[in-house]
Amino acid sequence: MSEAAYPPVTQHLSDPETAREEGRRKMDWALQHMPILEALREEFTAERPLEGETIAMAMHVEAKTANLVELLADGGAEVAITGCNPLSTHDDVSAALDAHDSITSYAVRGVDDAGYYDAMHAVIAHDPTITVDDGMDMVKLVHEEYPELLDSIVGGAEETTTGVHRLRAMDADGELKYPVFAVNDTPMKQLFDNVHGTGESSLATIAMTTNLSWAGKNVVVGGYGKCGKGVAKKAAGQNANVIVCEVDPRRALEAHMEGYEVLPMIEAAEKGDVFITTTGNRDVITREHFEVMKDGVLLANAGHFDVEVNLDDLVDLAVDRFEARDGVEGFELPDGRVLNVLAEGRLVNLAAPISLGHPVEVMDQSFGVQAVCVRELATNGATYGPGVHDVPDDLDREVAEIKLAAEGVAHDTLSDTQREYMDSWEHGT
């Protein structure tokens, strides 16, 4: 293992011991509600399927992720981790992780761009054999600056939609040189994490950050994909009037048929009280929208990168900016209107000061999928060629079965006759 120049988290903290204790308390609470990771921990500790692997991770470093990281270490891996967003790290959790003999954590909250990438270089200096990303920054850096590692990396796993989009683009250009599992796209992740997780945690974070109610508000949801559906549904459940903005005609129609008002953003901009973007795209809300918004609106982004609300435009327009509350910045326009941006336009459910990310139960599923994918890479990685791979269906089912067993939910199974019928084209009327 190479020596990294950038120091681990404990050297950035004034009282690492207290931080470690607090981080461990957060992890213990989360773990009580993570039956999938608990079940896998028993297996991983007994069988050590990751012995000899070094895992480089760039993820949101908070309590739930930390339990995944420890599971991988308990499975025999050396793990080095940093954040995948400058504002989403919990320093205490990062410190608790770093105390583990097989884990080095470089994640520190509030780093600037240079610190963010220094930490990522430090992780890669551990010479990984497996990468685990949320957003694809690690895969990109390895390919661009460490081509000598590409032969020894057996594969990777990607957590989020934006990361999978970027990986598929890289793959289409013939530039992706090792296999990566699209964890985001598998049912046990996407149907729960993107929909319920983003919906619940974004709304909870916005409400807690502002101390304002949803009832009777016009909530504009940018993008009606997996995350947008969750945000729209939960906002409607809190008695808000939901307005959806979409570029895909089928998704716009779907939102219309769900009973939501569907409008172009330029019209929604005049009506909205709260704006939440979930597109994974840039410039969803720009100058022309700011110019017609009501006084006092809230602007929040729940997509991966901080490009959905164009803050450069807002800074250009504003005559003053001030901290309205912790996690809320007011931008005063020349006519006296104030537009409030939450969490600096970064993904609100993870980057706002009080944010906790998705509910624990949801992340248990997502991280259960991550864990079985890493196990698959360690045991059968050589059978996958370079490129983006779907999570094998049997692995996705394995995670679902563990969760159902933990919940005490029994379900039906196909009989042989039914299976034969479903697999046949010969039966007709």
Residues 306 and 277: their CA atoms lie apart, in Å, by 10
Shortest Å distance, C-beta 419 to ligand NAI: 31
58: CB partners within 8 A, 6+ apart: 81, 82, 83, 84, 120, 123, 131, 132, 133, 134, 135, 137, 138
Residues 76 and 95: their CA atoms lie apart, in Å, by 20
Hey, which residues between 249 and 288 contact ligand NAI (CB under 6 A)?
A: 251, 278-281, 284
310 labelled as ligand-binding? no
Contact (CB, 8 A) for 362 and 192 = yes
Q: Does 87 bind ligand NAI (CB under 6 A)?
A: no
Part in contact with ligand NAI (CB under 6 A); list of ranges 37-45, 233-241, 300-308, 325-333: 300-308
- Give the nearer residue to ligand NAI in terms of CB position, either 238 or 281: 281
340 labelled as ligand-binding? no
- Give the nearer residue to ligand NAI in terms of CB position, either 156 or 223: 223
281 labelled as ligand-binding? yes
Shortest Å distance, C-beta 55 to ligand NAI: 21
Residues 425 and 333: their CA atoms lie apart, in Å, by 65
Shortest Å distance, C-beta 167 to ligand NAI: 12
Residues 239 and 277: their CA atoms lie apart, in Å, by 19
Q: Does 222 bind ligand NAI (CB under 6 A)?
A: yes
150: CB partners within 8 A, 6+ apart: 142, 143, 177, 178
- Give the nearer residue to ligand NAI in terms of CB position, either 78 or 185: 185
Shortest Å distance, C-beta 308 to ligand NAI: 8
Shortest Å distance, C-beta 327 to ligand NAI: 15
Q: Does 366 bind ligand NAI (CB under 6 A)?
A: no
Among all chains, which residue has been given the structure tokens 């945690």? 201
159 labelled as ligand-binding? yes
226 labelled as ligand-binding? yes
Hey, which residues between 343 and 362 contact ligand NAI (CB under 6 A)?
A: 347, 349-350
User: Strands, E, within 78-214: which ranges?
Assistant: 78-82, 103-105, 130-133, 155-158, 179-182
- Give the nearer residue to ligand NAI in terms of CB position, either 212 or 247: 247
Hey, which residues between 125 and 144 contact ligand NAI (CB under 6 A)?
A: none
227 labelled as ligand-binding? yes
Hey, which residues between 147 and 206 contact ligand NAI (CB under 6 A)?
A: 160-162, 194, 198
- Give the nearer residue to ligand NAI in terms of CB position, either 218 or 279: 279
Handedness of CA 252, 303, 130, 396 (dihedral sign): negative
Residue from 103, 203, 240, 302 binding ligand NAI (CB under 6 A): 302
Part in contact with ligand NAI (CB under 6 A); list of ranges 15-23, 73-81, 226-234, 392-400: 226-234
Contact (CB, 8 A) for 28 and 54 = no
Q: Does 12 bind ligand NAI (CB under 6 A)?
A: no
Long-range contacts of 107-111 (CB under 8 A, 24+ apart): 107/9, 107/61, 107/81, 107/82, 107/83, 108/9, 108/12, 108/83, 109/83, 110/86, 111/83, 111/86
SS percent in the chain: helix, strand, coil, step 5: 50, 15, 35
Which parts of this chain interact with ligand NAI (CB under 6 A)?
160-162, 194, 198, 222-228, 245-248, 251, 278-281, 284, 302-304, 347, 349-350
Residues tagged in the binding site annotation for substrate? 134, 159, 189, 193
